[in-house]
Amino acid sequence: MANSSATIQTDWIQNASFPVALLDQTFQVRIKSESAHLICASIHLPALQSIFDKVIQHQAPALQTINLQTDTGHVYFDLTVTPCEDGFLIFAKDSSLDHNLRAALMDSRQRFKDLVEISSDFAWEVGASGEFIFVSQRGAVGYEPEELIQKQSDDIVLKRDKKQSLNPFMSKSKLEREEVWVLRPDGEPACLLVSCVPLFDENNIWIGARGVCRDITDERERDAALARAYHRDQLLAYIVKTIRDEVDPSNMLSAAANATARALSANGCQIFRRQGNSSLIKDASFGDIPQDIDDLFGRLNDIHENEVGLFETENWIAIYSATRYRRTINGAICLWREKIRGGWNDDDQILAIDVANQLGIANEQISGHERIVELSRTDALTGLLNRRAFFEEELPRHIDRLKFNKSPAALIYVDLDHFKQVNDAFGHQKGDDVLIMLRDFLLHHIRPGDVAARLGGDEFALWLDDIDLDAAKARCQGIIESSVFLKEYSGTSEKPLGVSVGLALFDPHSGETIEELISRADAAMYKAKRAGRGNFRTADPFVTPASTGQGD
């Protein structure tokens, strides 16, 4: 061998500060340095045998890194084996530190790569001209990484207002958790939370920036949804308070229509209510009603539970919803707005439903109040006005109108003859049937606008507007003649059932009080009874005290 003729100095090998050893042809150690004991102890390991085979085969030096196990762990050596005249010369360099550092670096890089790829954030870097030069594998808000590479960051930043005029991807200073709105590939906005550091060269010239972004669009949309829900709650609370603060139930829906229209920025509002099984009636409104939405009002009678709808005309767009109480439709609400002011969004529709639910309760409360008022004003058996409602509410209202119109009217008292015998012979149930029969009979003999009342027991009263004395007498005569059918319901044949009628004509110029008018009608009725029953008598005209004095 060309390089094996050199003589190896024994003392040089023994005094070497690094691992070195001289082996003979049988791989036995002839001379070694003090630090070569680990290498020499591992001569016969397969890892070393493979390098010896290469040296023998090629008769040239060979290099190989080996890993040796020690009591303290693994040790790495960069091993060089050179053939020589007497055998093999082995040089070793302890590369454990380099190997461990390299392994730690690779592990760190892999860890960083794994974290970036599984993170909800995405990493990026832009160059000096603002174009993306790196985007992590996850990509950003719907973009694939290759779609953003070489794309100008300014192209995706959404300038929502003048305040947001900076592009954080091109920041010249460090940013932490800066919000920026960008455009997704489909054109929809997305909100990113940006943290980044600027990059400068050795001359302190800005050459780009790198950082991470997190998509917080869902969080911002949830925040916006909560804010809208809070706003709806505030508006609903305002409407409900307006309704509840209204003492008079009859004004409750008018206040609700006004408050709802204002809260929803509507031009007008119409509230409908269903009384019993009847069709919907307009109960309250706010604002002028456009003629071209009348078609909508007709459709509301067929509105379904939980139905919310939109109705559009050339100039208007309306929203309507059913009002409910215990899953039963008891009304509807309709609001309209000019098209130029914008349509109804989802929040408007949700609020309209919430208002409709409250109006359903209000409608029921109003109906309940009306039932209570009706019960307080009507006779429980016949449903006619009772004495208090007739004399204290209806007659004063009619008389005020007559004084204005200067028209006469008639108060007619009707009393059943021999009614006690019906109860005695057949019981009170039969007596109630007769009273109901008389009610129907009297209602048949009055006009729309006239009033009938049950004053108590078997005593009834009729009020006939705009009628003179002759017409009133004819009406009383007709009642007497038509009442003969009552005889077949008599308690005894000796005391036939019939009616006695007293008539008092009211002159609005006379100054007569209601009490005086009642007294005259009552006296005329008892005069008819004393005259043999089954007939009518007319009260004498009212005479003022002053005129009586003059007569005296």
Kindly report, residue by residue over 164-205, the tens digit of the pLDDT.
557 889 999 999 988 889 988 888 899 999 999 999 999 999
Which SS3 state, helix, strand or coil, does residue 484 take? helix
Contact 167, 140 (CB under 8 A): no
Give me the long-range contacts of 247-254 (CB less than 8 A, separation at least 24): 249/365, 249/366, 249/369, 249/370, 250/366, 252/362, 252/365, 252/366, 253/283, 253/284, 253/359, 253/362, 253/363, 253/366, 254/284, 254/285, 254/286
Question: Following DSSP, what letter does each residue of 284-312 receive, concatenated?
Answer: EEESPPPGGGHHHHHHGGGPPTT-EEEEE
Residue 321 · residue 353 · CB < 8 Å? yes
Distance (Å, rounded) from C-alpha 302 to C-alpha 345? 24
Please report the beta strands in 101-258, taking only residues with DSSP state E, as ranges in sequence order: 121-126, 132-135, 175-183, 189-200, 206-215
Tell me the C-alpha to C-alpha distance, in Å, between residue 35 and each of 23, 39, 94, 298, 431: 15, 8, 10, 106, 133
Which pLDDT score, from 0 to 100, does residue 120 have?
Answer: 53
Going by C-alpha positions, the residue among 299, 300, 370 that lies closest to residue 329 is 300
Q: Are residues 502 and 412 in contact, defined by beta-carbon separation less than 8 angstroms?
A: yes
How far apart are the C-alpha atoms of 25 and 23, rounded to whole Å?
7
pTM over 0.95: no
Rounded to whole angstroms, how far apart are CA atoms 261 and 333?
Answer: 11
Question: 503: which 2 tokens?
Answer: 């008539």
- Looking at residue 384, what is its pLDDT? 92
Which residues in the chain show pLDDT less than 70?
A: 1-9, 47, 108-120, 138-139, 160-165, 305-306, 545-552
β 20-23/87-94 pair status: antiparallel
Cα separation values, 237 from 225, 306, 345, Å: 18, 21, 20
| Beta pairing partners, 281 | 273
Buried b (16+ CB within 10 A) or exposed e, 256-275: bbbbbbbbbebbbbbbbbbe
Check if the beta carbon of residue 322 is closer than 8 Å to that of residue 334.
no
- 480-490 pLDDT tens trace: 999 999 999 99
Separation of first and last alpha carbons in the chain: 175
Give me the sheet containing 189-200, strands edge to edge.
132-135, 121-126, 206-215, 189-200, 175-183
Tell me how far the alpha carbon of residue 476 is from its chain's centroid: 63
The HSE-up count of residue 18 (CA atoms within 13 Å, CB side) is: 10
What is the Cα–Cα distance from 313 to 160, expressed in whole angstroms? Answer: 33
In this prediction, residue 2 carries a pLDDT of 41
Cα 78 from Cα 80, distance rounded (Å)? 7
Spacing of C-alpha 107 from chain mean position: 52
pLDDT value at position 110?
A: 63
Q: How far apart are CA 83 and CA 90, in angstroms?
A: 9
Instruction: Give the per-residue pLDDT at 1.
Output: 39
Look up tokens 């109960």; give the residue.
Answer: 283
Q: Which of 244, 247, 235, 299 is nearest to 270 (CA)?
A: 299
